[in-house]
Amino acid sequence: MNILVIGSGGRESAIAWSVARSPLVRKVFISPGNGGTLKYGENILLSLEYPFGEVIDFCEDAEIDLVIVGPETPLVDGIVDCLRREGIKTFGPTKKAAQLEGSKSFMKEFLARNTIPTARFRIFDDPKAAVEYVAGAGKPFVVKTDGLAAGKGAIVNKTVQETLDSINRIMVKREFGDAGNRIVVEDLLEGEEVSVFILTDGKDYRWLASAQDHKRIFDGDEGPNTGGMGAYAPVPFLDSVTRTMIEENIIKPTVAGMAKEGNPYTGILYFGLMLTPSGPSVIEYNVRLGDPEAQVILPLLETDFLTAVWACMHEELSRLTFGYYDGYCTGVVIAAEGYPDSYRKGDPLAGSFGDETNCFVFHAGTKALSDGRVVTNGGRVLCVSALGTTLEQSIRRAYEKAAKIDFAGKYYRKDIGAKGLKAIKNNNIK
């Protein structure tokens, strides 16, 4: 098969890496790709403007058998609908189903209609009404833009004043543009956060993986939110009781609810969950793999990813058995100085940045120059992912490799996986 992967980040590197290893594959194209995706196939620059004419023309010319879409924006913009209309097989949700990520108010109302656990919430189109609600309640809330805001549209507040300031930033100062025309104001949840991924054909689903991301820039979960500074999988404190609660109370009603509402969800669905004292609760849905979660999930998967995707697209999930590496994978994101604010660019990569046994370097913000050098070109530059039979071993391998890679201003967290290690020690598990 000829495969086109859409996207340019670490997640798309991991997808292209998986696909390139598949026995089903002939040629891999990545659009636009990055300085590392050349290891897996050919980079090609295609416009992702609706209605995706350049992508459609390319798929026809290059005889693409399947398109795998990495990021949320083209999915929310309807790439799946546009390509499928032209007879091009595309993995992912339709525009309407992608509203689970594209609109927080759609998501919250869907959860409420289907009695799926989530934080209590109110939706506002008018800042005055939102301010009245918060002042009347006299407690802090999380304030979220309704629309996509590159992962920055959820503001977790510690005080009433901060909550009022967030409403002002989003609705009056319009810091997030039209994404903030409508907001969700929701109760704060407490607990451990986990990411759960499923593959679904709209009726049936298979559990793909669990992972834990590290969203803040600094160690100990301090500082501003980022796209994600590292992850590990699987999550050792997701015991079978919690997993059953997630499947029964969250996953099954989500898949069934979308189907019942005439809006079946197909593709990978990512559940951002908080394990609260009263049970798992949905923080968000994402309509794609996570970044950096993909970089730790795909190396663990021993079943061919492309075969799994193909089975999902042909409603043959029940025939699939997933095999996994018996251990853990840890991914450490190496970022450019300044990230998540403005950051340095154009610094050459040096040191040892090729893959090693059980250790993979997934490029994200990198660019290959015509002279063969690879330079930094984004906030999150690389993700170093390492397998280990224990979590401790995978963490150690990832950090040993991260230390061997050099570029000016490189930064990474030193505590990726620490919460998992603590849970393993406290609960005496492997």
Per CB under 6 A, the list member of 79, 154, 361, 405 interacting with ligand AMP is 154
Long-range CB pairs of 355-361, under 8 A, 24+ apart, other chains included: 356/401, 358/386, 358/387, 358/388, 358/397, 359/384, 359/385, 359/386, 359/387, 359/397, 359/398, 359/401, 360/14, 360/17, 360/295, 360/299, 360/384, 360/385, 360/386, 361/36, 361/385, 361/401, 361/405
Around Cβ 153, how many Cβ atoms within 10 Å?
Answer: 20
Per CB under 6 A, the list member of 22, 157, 212, 286 interacting with ligand GLY is 286
Q: Give the residue with the Cβ less far from ligand AMP, 186 or 304.
A: 186
H or E segment to which residue 128 belongs: helix 127-137
At residue 162, what is the residue type?
E
Per CB under 6 A, the list member of 213, 250, 255, 359 interacting with ligand GLY is 213
Per CB under 6 A, the list member of 127, 272, 279, 327 interacting with ligand AMP is 272
Task: Decide if residue 219 touches ligand AMP (CB under 6 A).
Answer: no
The interface with ligand AMP within residues 179-198 (CB under 6 A) comprises 186, 188-189, 193
Handedness of CA 7, 11, 17, 18 (dihedral sign): negative
Minimum CB separation from ligand AMP for residue 145, in Å?
9
Minimum CB separation from ligand GLY for residue 420, in Å?
16
Minimum CB separation from ligand GLY for residue 158, in Å?
22
Per CB under 6 A, the list member of 291, 329, 381, 391 interacting with ligand GLY is 291
Q: Give the residue with the Cβ less far from ligand GLY, 310 or 339.
A: 339
**Residue 147: contacted member of ligand AMP, ligand GLY, none (CB under 5 to 8 Å, by partner type):** none
Minimum CB separation from ligand AMP for residue 275, in Å?
12
Nearest C-alpha neighbor of 169 from the set 145, 133, 139, 135: 145
| Residues whose CB falls within 8 Å of the CB of residue 36, separated by 6 or more in sequence, listed in order | 13, 361, 362, 363, 366, 374, 382
Can you name the residues that pair with 359 across neighbouring β-strands?
356, 386
Task: Decide if residue 70 touches ligand GLY (CB under 6 A).
Answer: no
**Residue 144: contacted member of ligand GLY, ligand AMP, none (CB under 5 to 8 Å, by partner type):** ligand AMP
Q: Residue 179 carries which DSSP code? A: G
Query: Is the Cβ–Cβ distance between 110 and 148 less than 8 Å?
Result: no
Task: Decide if residue 293 touches ligand GLY (CB under 6 A).
Answer: yes
Q: Give the residue with the Cβ less far from ligand GLY, 12 or 304.
A: 12
Q: Which among 29-37, 244-252, 290-298, 318-326 is the span making contact with ligand GLY, rule CB under 6 A?
A: 290-298
Minimum CB separation from ligand AMP for residue 50, in Å?
23
Sketch the per residue contact string, 72 through 111, with ligand AMP: x for CB under 6 A, - otherwise: ----------------------------------------
Minimum CB separation from ligand GLY for residue 218, in Å?
17
Task: Decide if residue 51 touches ligand AMP (CB under 6 A).
Answer: no
Query: Is the Cβ–Cβ distance between 74 and 55 less than 8 Å?
Result: no
420 token code pair: 């998992």
Nearest C-alpha neighbor of 199 from the set 113, 310, 112, 124: 310
363 token code pair: 């490029």
Q: Which among 76-84, 256-264, 285-293, 304-312 is the span making contact with ligand GLY, rule CB under 6 A?
A: 285-293
Is the peptide bond preceding residue 340 cis, with omega within 30 degrees of 0? Answer: yes
d(Cα 234, Cα 49) in Å, to the nearest integer?
A: 36
Residues that bind ligand AMP (CB under 6 A): 119, 142, 144, 154, 156, 186, 188-189, 193, 215, 272, 283-284
Residues that bind ligand GLY (CB under 6 A): 151, 213, 228, 286, 290-291, 293
